[in-house]
């Protein structure tokens, strides 16, 4: 069915079969399409695809609710006349042809065919492979406004070069735009938290590696003599790393004497650290390296004599200087 009207010399034509509305021979929604495309592209550029889709869905739905409530009050629309009302109203407004092809009045389930709507034309004009969101959600809002209960939708088929129309199902649902907004916010918040946790983990790992590398360096001071300063507290990972690195370096430096400098350890030596010292010392001895404990303070000496008696089997000296002199003397050398 085709209709024409002339207003102040301007010709307008409607084709209810194709859903076209022409203004002086051109598509009446051309300027609307151009403006909305710029609007949608701007939102995508600023907010990203997921947020943009939610904005379109929310806006389309809420506008539909206003339309549905308004026409329900004016036209007394219900399930008996909604088919003709939706088809006639939206084709006249240039929104393309929309048909309710299936309707279950008892359960309020509807299936719509949407053909040549302005959102499809907008995406087609830019050759964009974007599926319609605003228009399908708009009709969910219309049904919500008319029936006074929340409707939602499911798009079964999108219009494209091979499909002449979109197929969308509508049904009562507890899904709401407010719930979708909340879920998106929670997802984005969770993503940000996850990114922060990953960053913290990376920085923590880098800091741990730096601490391990700097806190217990292996220092060759003289031929056959190396010094390893023990600094701070040692957990299991750090202790194993120290033992492994030290034992690997002993043959490389042909070390006859290993001086473990205890100056940087806490005054209250822990059982774990004492066990580490013993394990390292015993292992070094098996490689032919004698271990000398240096930097033993009076407090530490008392602690070893009372608590960590297993460390008494190693030579203990007060300072690093004494340890170097001791190692030189045992090897038959001296500093001149």
Report the CATH number at residue 242: 3.30.750.24
pLDDT tens, 177-223? 777 666 756 665 666 667 777 777 777 777 766 666 655 678 888 88
Cα–Cα distance measured from residue 283 to residue 233, given in angstroms and rounded to the nearest whole number: 21
Assigned domain for 181 exists: no
Cα–Cα distance measured from residue 105 to residue 169, given in angstroms and rounded to the nearest whole number: 14
pLDDT at position 7 over 80: no
Same domain for 126 and 226, yes or no, is no
Q: Could you tell me the CA-to-CA distances from 293 to 155, 170, 198, 214, 244 in Å, in that order? A: 77, 81, 41, 20, 18
Same domain for 162 and 42, yes or no, is yes
pLDDT tens, 293-329? 998 888 888 888 888 888 888 889 988 899 898 888 8
Same domain for 325 and 234, yes or no, is yes
| CB-based contacts of 177, cutoff 8 Å, min separation 6 | 57, 58, 61, 62
Same domain for 149 and 43, yes or no, is yes
Listed residue (265, 311, 268) closest to 292, CA to CA? 311
Half-sphere exposure of residue 132: CA atoms within 13 angstroms, side-chain side:
31
Structural domain of 303? 216-330
SS (H, E, C) 48-115: CHHHHHHHHHHHHHHHHHHHHHHHHHHHCCCCCCHHHHHHHHHHHCCCCEEEEEEEECCCCEEEEEEE
- Domains contained in the chain, number: 2
Assigned domain for 81 exists: yes
Strand 2-7 relative to strand 10-15, pairing:
antiparallel
pLDDT at position 284 over 70: yes
Confidence band of 4 (pLDDT split at 50, 70, 90): confident
Assigned domain for 18 exists: no
9-18, 88-97, 160-169, 304-313 — which is least confidently predicted? Answer: 9-18
Q: Could you tell me the CA-to-CA distances from 47 to 35, 41, 177, 188 in Å, in that order? A: 18, 10, 18, 12
Coil, helix or strand at residue 160:
coil
Confidence band of 39 (pLDDT split at 50, 70, 90): confident
Bigger pLDDT: 214 vs 134: 134
Mean pLDDT of 44-56: 81
pLDDT at position 28 over 70: no
* pLDDT score of 22: 62
pLDDT tens, 212-262? 665 567 888 888 999 999 888 888 888 888 899 899 989 998 999 999 999
Token pair of 292 as six digits: 């000398």
Same domain for 51 and 162, yes or no, is yes
């Amino acid at each position: 069915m085709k209709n024409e009207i002339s207003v102040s010399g301007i010709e307008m034509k409607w084709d209810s079969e194709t859903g076209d509305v022409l203004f002086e021979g051109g598509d009446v929604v051309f300027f609307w399409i151009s403006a909305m495309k710029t609007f949608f592209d701007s939102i995508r550029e600023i907010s990203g695809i997921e947020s943009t889709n939610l904005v379109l869905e929310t806006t389309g739905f809420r506008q539909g609710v206003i339309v549905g409530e308004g026409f329900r009050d004016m036209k007394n629309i219900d399930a008996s006349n909604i088919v003709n009302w939706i088809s006639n109203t939206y084709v006249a407004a240039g929104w393309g042809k929309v048909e309710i092809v299936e309707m279950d009045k008892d359960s309020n389930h509807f299936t719509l065919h949407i053909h040549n709507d302005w959102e499809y034309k907008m995406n087609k004009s830019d050759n964009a492979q974007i599926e319609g969101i605003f228009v399908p959600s708009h009709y969910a809002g219309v049904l919500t406004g008319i029936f006074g209960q929340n409707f939602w939708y499911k798009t079964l088929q999108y219009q494209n070069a091979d499909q002449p129309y979109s197929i969308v199902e509508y049904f009562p649902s507890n899904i709401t735009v407010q719930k979708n907004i909340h879920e998106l916010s929670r997802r984005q918040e969770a993503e940000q938290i996850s990114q922060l946790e990953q960053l913290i983990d990376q920085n923590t790992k880098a800091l741990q590696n730096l601490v391990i590398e700097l806190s217990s360096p292996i220092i060759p001071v003289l031929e056959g003599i190396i010094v390893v300063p023990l600094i701070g507290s040692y957990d299991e990972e750090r202790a194993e790393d120290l033992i492994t690195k030290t034992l690997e370096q002993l043959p490389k430096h042909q070390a006859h004497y290993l001086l473990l400098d205890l100056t940087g350890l806490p005054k209250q030596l822990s059982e774990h650290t004492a066990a580490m010292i013993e394990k390292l010392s015993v292992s070094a001895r098996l490689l032919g390296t004698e271990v000398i404990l240096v930097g033993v303070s009076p407090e530490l000496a008392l602690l070893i004599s009372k608590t960590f008696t297993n460390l008494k089997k190693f030579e203990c000296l007060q300072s690093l200087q004494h340890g170097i002199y001791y190692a030189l003397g045992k090897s038959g050398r001296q500093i001149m």
